[in-house]
Amino acid sequence: MNKRKLGAAVLLLALGLGPVQTSHNYNLKLNNLAYAEEAASEVGGTEGTQAPDASPKADESEGANKDAEKKEGQTTKDGQSSDDSLETGDIIQNEPVTSGDGKSDDKDKDDEKEDKNLEERKNELLAKIDAYESELGKSNAIKLATDAEIVEHGKALEAFKKAIKEADGKELKSLEDDSEKEEVESNYYKAVSKLGYRVYSARDARTELKKQIDKASKLLEIKKDSGLKEVLANSLVVYDDIESQAKSISEKTEELKKVIEEVSKRENIEEEKIALSKEEEKAIDDMKGFPSNKFNELSDKDVFDYKLEALVKIDFDRATDFTEENLKKVEARNIESEKNSVKKYLDAKDALLALIESDVTDSNKVSKALENYDAAVAEAKSLVNEEEEKGSDLDSEYEKLLKEYEEVKSSDIYKNASDEKKKAYDKALEDFKNKKYTTLEELEAAKTKMEKAKNALSVKVSTEEEKEIESVIEKHGDFIKSNEYLRATAELQKAYGDAYDALKEDKTKENLDKVKKAKTDITDYYSKFNAEIESLEKYIDQAKTDSLTEKSLKELKKEYKEKLEEFKSDNSKTIDDINELKEEFDAKLNPKEPEKDSPKAKEDAKKKTTKKVVTSSKKSKGKVRTGVDAILPVVGGVAVVAAIALIFTRKKNK
């Protein structure tokens, strides 16, 4: 047997008899053994001759190279061949241990270290968010936040945390780097910046509503008015609800204002009696428009307050023509300094927005950015002169009209007018001077009023008419408390109120006639209402029916006469209500099914118990026969049949 084959066999036998190895190391040893045999064969089998370099690869194990360089058949000190002395341990002594996928343990350790660092970075980022949330939890923003804002914030926070936990190294770096924010992180900080936004942005509208609420409360103490009370109650609900938006608050403010004016005019209550004092207005202004149930919970101003204030300012500018139309006009002028001012504003806005939507908790940093923004806005707005030119036109027109109306007081028309007309003109002029005009349309409306007051100075009325006008004005307070006025419909009351206001402002015969007609309509309605009440009362007394028992009819009449009595004391009831009551009474007086034991019910029952025999034939031509008339044809028929039978019987017998 070949020596090489014999050596290999011996080595295999040694491996089989050696200590138990792991499958991994066993395979390594077999590989190295095969390499040693291959190296020996390349030597050529010549004893005493050293083989040239037998290591074809630089990365093979050092032990394998040394054994391959020994001469084939070389004898050791104890006389054994080199193949016989080959040890597995020598072969794999310097072989590096590798994993199943070919990567070294050093690489695994590096991966473990990198994974550990990634987890540490994630935990640090999560801890940073938790600290930020802790600050947010103590802020005014969260105290003012609506339920919807809190829900959105919670969703954005969970999405952000989830993104951190599931991120790999590259994704986490984008979440850590401010200059490369992921959308999920941006959404989170935007949601934070919106906490309390709805309440904060509505503060001015809510402040104005609170002033009207306090004013209405004063008026309600003077005059108990159900309409005013209802609108006031609704206004309080809107004011205290932090979900209310600025638009709905402003609408409720206008509604309350209108009711206050209507009640004040109708009851002839002077403005001074319900106006707020300076101290009361200051107290409301100090609340900064926050709902009463939230104001006392607010702490000192914090960074989130500054962020909210900045966001509201930016959004307000976005909603106006300032940032869109007017700035484009400035840039279109193509003046370098103006274009720089516009760019300065845009940069300041972007810088402030970046701070708002970030994790910055330094109040000074945000307040400084807000100051820069305000300065940039002021500079850019100074370049927008379109509105300033409109304002200039407004001022000049106002000054022109004021001078003209002041000169009227020195004219003969004014001097020859009655004292009442002079008073009316003086009041109109005072109102014209005290009003603040922001548009030419507002000034034009005021001009119309002044022209009416001016024209009224020259209108002549007779002494009798003047006295009648004064009498109507003097008796106004008593009239609106009278039964006639209180019974009138809302339309009739409004017609009278409009006519009276016109007469007070312009004491002419035409306006006097309008007041007299409005009063006549009211008194006529009152008379007609009472007549309808009397008519229905008489109708109920005389009502008869076969569908009710005598007892039920009596109770029904009593019930509806009591309702009529209530109508007499209830001023909200109208003639239409009386007609509806009559229809209701008639329906119960004549029900679809007669009441048990009523005359009609007894008559119907009697008819049902009377049995009748009903027949019909072609000869009767549809006529119904009963009693004897119905029986006779039957008897006749039987007789005929009997006669025929007798004839046949007789023939048979023959």
For residues 646 and 648, what is the distance between their CA atoms, to the nearest angstrom?
Answer: 6
Q: How many residues does the chain have?
A: 654
| 3-state SS class at 310 | helix
> H or E stretch including 496?
helix 490-505
pLDDT for the residue 173:
79
Cα three-residue angle 464-467-473, rounded to 5 degrees: 140
Q: What is the mean pLDDT of residues 265-291?
A: 88
- What confidence tens digit (pLDDT) does each residue in 90-137 have? 433 444 444 445 555 665 666 666 677 888 888 888 988 898 898 888
Interaxial angle between packed helices 23-43 and 62-69, expressed in degrees from 0 to 180 and rounded to the nearest 10? 30
- Contacts (Cβ under 8 Å, ≥6 apart) of 97: 104, 105
Among 154-168, 269-283, 346-360, 607-621, where is mean pLDDT lowest? Answer: 607-621
DSSP structural state of residue 358: S
For residues 292 and 191, what is the distance between their CA atoms, to the nearest angstrom?
Answer: 25
Question: Can you list the alpha helix ranges (DSSP code H) found in 410-508?
Answer: 412-416, 419-434, 440-456, 463-474, 476-479, 483-487, 490-505
Query: Is 300 or 235 the better-scoring residue by pLDDT?
Result: 235
Say if CB 167 and CB 135 are below 8 A apart. no
pLDDT for the residue 608:
81
Say if CB 72 and CB 40 are below 8 A apart. yes
Q: What is the mean pLDDT of residues 336-342?
A: 81
pLDDT for the residue 153:
93
Say if CB 197 and CB 149 are below 8 A apart. yes
Percent of the chain with pLDDT over 70: 72
pLDDT for the residue 83:
44
DSSP structural state of residue 615: B
Percent of the chain with pLDDT over 90: 21
Query: Is 107 or 548 the better-scoring residue by pLDDT?
Result: 548
Within 10 Å of residue 130's Cβ, how many Cβ atoms? Answer: 10
Q: How confident is the model at residue 42 (pLDDT cuts 50, 70, 90)?
A: very low
- The CA distances from residue 468 to 204, 509, 520, in Å, are 48, 10, 15
Q: How confident is the model at residue 308 (pLDDT cuts 50, 70, 90)?
A: confident
- What confidence tens digit (pLDDT) does each residue in 446-482 have? 998 898 888 888 776 667 777 888 888 888 999 999 9
Q: What is the mean pLDDT of residues 255-272?
A: 90
DSSP lists the bridge partners of residue 75 as 81
Interaxial angle between packed helices 575-589 and 550-569, expressed in degrees from 0 to 180 and rounded to the nearest 10? 170
Interaxial angle between packed helices 419-434 and 490-505, expressed in degrees from 0 to 180 and rounded to the nearest 10? 100
Say if CB 540 and CB 588 are below 8 A apart. no
For residues 507 and 419, what is the distance between their CA atoms, to the nearest angstrom?
Answer: 12
pLDDT for the residue 569:
86
| 3-state SS class at 625 | strand
